[in-house]
Structure 1
Amino acid sequence: MLSRIFFACIFLCVFCACSPLSCRWMEHKFRQYSTNSLTLLDLMAYHYVNQDPEVNIAAFPYPLYHQASGASAEAKLAFTVQVLKEVSALFEEDDSSSSWQEVTMEHFLNVVNKQADELQLCVSTIHLPNRRLHIYFKRLSNSVFGQMGHSAEAWELIRREIKLHLIRADHLVSSLFISN
C-alpha cells in the first residue's frame, strides 16, 4: 500500500514538473516582459496617421484566439509562441520608413523574441504551427504593405494590429494562472 502511494506521489511530482504551469520563467517574468513589450509598442506610436485609411486589412483572427483559449495549457503556450514569432518576423521587414527610433525597435524585438524563446522552453511537446495564423500574418503584411508601401502610416496600422495580438496573447497566458 505504501509503495502505491509512493509511486503515486512520484508520478504527481513528475507530472507537475513537466507541466507548463510549473515553468518558472512564465510564472515570474512573463507578465513583466508582456508589459514591457506593450509599453515599447506604445512608444513607437505615430500620432499623425490618417485614422480611416483606405486599406483593406486582413480581419483580426478572433476565432483562432477563441479556439486557443479552449485548448490545453501547452497548446495555449504553443499558440502564444507562434504569435510572438509571427510578430517578430513582421517587424523585421523593411522598417526604414517607419517613424520609430531604431533603438526602441531593437529593444521591442529583443523583448518579443525573449518571450517567445522562454515560453517555447515551457512547452514540452512539439506542436505544429497554426497554418491559419501564419496565413493571417502573411495577408496582414501583404494587404497593408502592398497597398501603402512601407510608409510610416502603414507601420502605424501594423503597430495597432500587433498591439491587439500582444494583448490577446497576454490574456491567453494569464488565463493559465487564473484557472488554477
Structure 2
Amino acid sequence: MISRIFIACLFLGMYSTGSSLSCKWIVKHPGNTKSQFSLYNKIALDFLDMMAEDKLAFTVQILKELLALFEEDHSSASWEENTVENFLNIVDKQTEELRSCIGSHSNTTQKGQQLSFRREKYFKRLLNKILKKNGYSAEAWEKIRNITQAHLRQCEFLISLRTAH
C-alpha cells in the first residue's frame, strides 16, 4: 500500500517538474514580449471588461429600485426629511452618472430581461412584505435601511470589480 502511494507521488512529481519546463505555452518566444498564455489572457480580460457593462446596467437598476422604494411613505421613520432628500439626491446622481457609462445594448438580451423581472419582483416583495405588511412602521423602515446598506455595498463591489485592473 505504501509502495503504491510512493510510486504515485514519484510519478506525479516527475510529471509536474518536466511539464512546466517544457510547456511552450507559458514561455516567451524570442522577439515576443509576452507568452502565448499572456496574449490569450489579455484577450480574455478584454472580454470581461465588455461584460462589465452588464454590471453597470445591473447596478443602475438596483439604484433605481432603491430610489422607488424610498419614495414610499417614510413619515413614521425617525429620519430627518433633509437627510432622506440628500440620500435620494446622491443615489439619483449615481444612477444618472452610471447610466451615461452604459452602451445602448445592455440588458436587451432575454437573460437580461429575465434578471430585470426578478429584480423588480424582489423589490416589490420588499415593499409588500416588509413595508406595507408592517404599516410603513419605523421598524420596517429600519429593515429597509439595513437592506439598502447591503445593496449599496454590493453595488460598490461590482463597480470596483470593473475598475480593478
Q: Distance in 1 between matches of 2:154 and 2:58?
A: 11
Q: Equivalent of 1:150, from 118, 132, 136?
A: 136
Q: Distance in 2 between matches of 1:132 and 1:70?
A: 24
The SS at the match of 1:148 is: coil
Q: How many residue pairs align between the two structures? A: 111
Q: Say if 2:131 and 2:140, in contact at 8 Å, map to a contact too.
A: yes
Q: Equivalent of 1:125, from 97, 104, 110?
A: 104
Q: Equivalent of 2:69, from 65, 90, 101?
A: 90
Flag the 1:135–1:125 CA change in 2: closer, same or farther, 3 A: same
Q: Please list the CA deviations of residues 104-140 of structure 1 after superposition, one character each: whole Å capped at 9, or x if unmatched.
A: 0000000000000000000012434511111100001
Higher-Rg structure is: 2
Taking only aligned residues, the RMSD between alpha carbons, in angstroms, comes to: 1.9
Q: Which residue of 2 aligns with 1:160?
A: 146
Q: Distance in 2 between matches of 1:160 and 1:71?
A: 32
Greater relative contact order structure (CA < 8 Å, 6+ sep): 1
TM-score (norm 1): 0.58
TM-score (norm 2): 0.64
Stretches of 4+ aligned residues off by more than 2 angstroms: 126-129
Equivalent AA in structure 1 for residue 67 of structure 2? S
Q: Which residue of 1 aligns with 2:54?
A: 75
Sequence identity percentage: 49
Flag the 1:120–1:132 CA change in 2: closer, same or farther, 3 A: same
Flag the 1:124–1:134 CA change in 2: closer, same or farther, 3 A: same
Q: Equivalent of 1:175, from 146, 161, 164?
A: 161
Q: Please list the CA deviations of residues 41-74 of structure 1 after superposition, one character each: whole Å capped at 9, or x if unmatched.
A: xxxxxxxxxxxxxxxxxxxxxxxxxxxx998111
Q: Which residue of 2 aligns with 1:20?
A: none
Q: Distance in 1 between matches of 2:127 and 2:84?
A: 18
Q: Distance in 2 between matches of 1:155 and 1:80?
A: 22
The SS at the match of 2:85 is: helix
Q: Equivalent of 2:82, from 90, 93, 103?
A: 103
